[in-house]
Chains A and B, each alone.
Chain A
Amino acid sequence: MRLTTASGRRLVAGIPILWLLVLFLIPFIIVFRISFSEVRLAIPPYTPLLTWRHGSPVLQLHWSAYRFLFTDPLYVSSYLYSLKVAAVSTLCCLGLGYPMAYAIARSHAAVRPVLLMLIVLPFWTSFLLRVYAWIGLLKNNGVINNVLMYLGVIHHPLALLQTDFAVYIGIVYSYLPFMILPLYANLEKHDGTLLEAAADLGARPLRAFVRVTLPQSLAGIVAGSLLVFIPAVGEYVIPTLLGRTDQIMIGRVLSDEFFENRDWPVASAVAIVILLLLVVPIMLFQRLERRELEAAK
């Protein structure tokens, strides 16, 4: 269908574009701008970029926020730690999610919708409450420690909460559906006869999987991994509730700079550097999304 009336076309595309320009794109430009200011005690709490001197505008770019980021080891270590946590969690998610998606894709057609529903269902209940549930499971007198002590496996409670392990569990748990759904969408389309052909040619199941199924599902693997990795880098709730206190993730650093230190320029600079780290994964994700939608046509 082609909308014929020009004004109608303009309205259909124009309204959402205008909304997102004002509430999505322009805000980033403002963040970018403030990251080149210096903090000051005033309202707003940062220096203006343009000042008027003798009737002509003077552009004042301050690099102090960025210089600060790269001299104070807190920031660099938080960035590296966040990338590590996101990468490890993504791999764990893939390791658990791939066989699950595979099992669903190969299951009987009648049970498939039920299984998919079971994967998505937790997503509909509060994310915050589901992360909170892990506090009760992981803490020193929590369910897991109590069960292990009751069974006599351990005699002293394991320190599970406030560890890297707890953060991995939290991220894998919360993001697992985002890994499984694109993988399932991909695996479901696979042609079973290719595997049969490989078997006829003498390939053992593992070899057939590595040579046939795995390469075909690469797009699903990448899409699922990006859907987990990108938001996990900036994750705030999970490390705050479950994670270590001596090493914080960059999302928490940003939030603390803004709310505790009231340093808007440094908070903005932290955000810009996260964006620079994530720009390649985000663009890759968008390209995959577009290709997926065009393939559906």
Chain B
Amino acid sequence: MRARGLFTRTALVLGLAFLYLPILSMIVFSFNNSRLVTVWDTAHSPTLKWYVALMSNEQILRAAWLSIRIALIAASAAVVLGTLAGMALTRLGAFRGRMLLAGMTTAPIVMPEVITGLSLLLLFVAMQQLIGWPKGVGAVTITLAHITFCMAYVTVVVQSRLSGFDEALEEAAMDLGARPLRVFLRITLPLILPAIASGWLLAFTLSWDDLVITQFVAGPGSSTLPMVIFSKVRFGVTPDVNALATIMVLIVATGIAVSTAWMRYRQQRRVRDLQLAAAANL
């Protein structure tokens, strides 16, 4: 028993090192003066020059701004569609098309991206021929594609939360005469709000990060940030990409730290409220 505990723990430590080593090396070398990226130039490092270069790189800034706008819209739309799909799959009982919906919400998660990308582009081309919309490919088609694969993830997150809690609360509200929409807004929505929030963050990240599907449905002049990065790194390493990676890691780490602190605060407040309520009852 003891030997196995040692083995699995070693695997865990090594696995975590494996996960974090590349990220750490990018952060370290983002402060390196040398253009050779992986050869540390002791005389002139650390330096912030790649950060300065990044901040004056018009192309990267424009692409980042486009990616942010697409991710904001795609995540918000995906949350609405994904919540509807999650509600339909857990609260509507049996209905026609249930199997179809269940299948169509899990398939995009594992579907190889090249296939999804190709099929969406061919759809947009066919639509343009038939109804004249969308006019060409660009930000609009990218957003539509992102909504589609993001909503599948949101559905899974919302669905597992919905099937995790008791329907008795909703039924009680119904028995008290609340109409379905009101039950949803007053009971269901507050209960699944954490799932919706994490679904939105997940969707935002996936949209912000997507390269393969985006490449298929993007047009000239609509290069997202991953597309710009890919065209840069495809032909070798460039130090300013290390700086970009460091900034992104920093943002994510800050976000996680803030949300963890906030959750802990809420948890503490709930405990205190419960204690106060218990004291009042005495």
Interface residue ranges, A against B (CB under 8 Å): 1-5, 8-9, 12-13, 15-17, 19-28, 30-31, 34, 44, 96-97, 99-100, 102-104, 106, 115, 117-119, 121-130, 132-137, 139, 141-143, 146, 173, 176, 199, 205-206, 209, 226-227, 230-231, 233-237, 240-241, 251, 254-255, 258, 264, 267-268, 271, 274-275, 278, 281-282, 285-286, 289-290, 293-294, 296-297
Contact = CB atoms under 8 A, between A and B. Distances in A.
The 5 A-B residue pairs with the shortest CB-CB distance, nearest first, are: A234-B112, A27-B119, A99-B11, A133-B22, A1-B170
A233 B106 CA distance: 18
Contacts of B3: 205
A267 B93 CA distance: 40
B68 interface: no
A139 B15 contact: no
Contact of A20 (B148, B226, B229): B148
Interface string B43-60: 000000000000000000
B268 interface: no
A264 B208 CA distance: 28
24 contacts: A1-B91, A1-B167, A3-B180, A16-B81, A22-B123, A23-B120, A23-B147, A30-B122, A103-B12, A121-B256, A124-B205, A129-B26, A141-B39, A173-B18, A173-B19, A173-B22, A205-B1, A205-B4, A234-B113, A236-B113, A237-B211, A241-B234, A271-B118, A296-B164
Given A44-B129, A129-B241, 10 more contacts: A9-B92, A12-B92, A13-B95, A16-B155, A17-B104, A21-B104, A123-B205, A133-B23, A251-B113, A254-B118
A126 B211 CA distance: 10
Contacts of B29: 136
B229 A286 contact: no
Interface in B225-261: 226, 229-230, 233-234, 236-237, 241-242, 244-245, 248-249, 252-253, 256, 260
By DSSP majority rule, is chain B's interface helix, strand, loop, or mixed? helix
Given A121-B252, A136-B237, A254 B93 contact: no
Contacts, number: 272
Given A100-B12, A136-B29, A126 B115 contact: no
Nearest to A287: B106
B151 interface: yes
A250 to B, nearest CB: 8
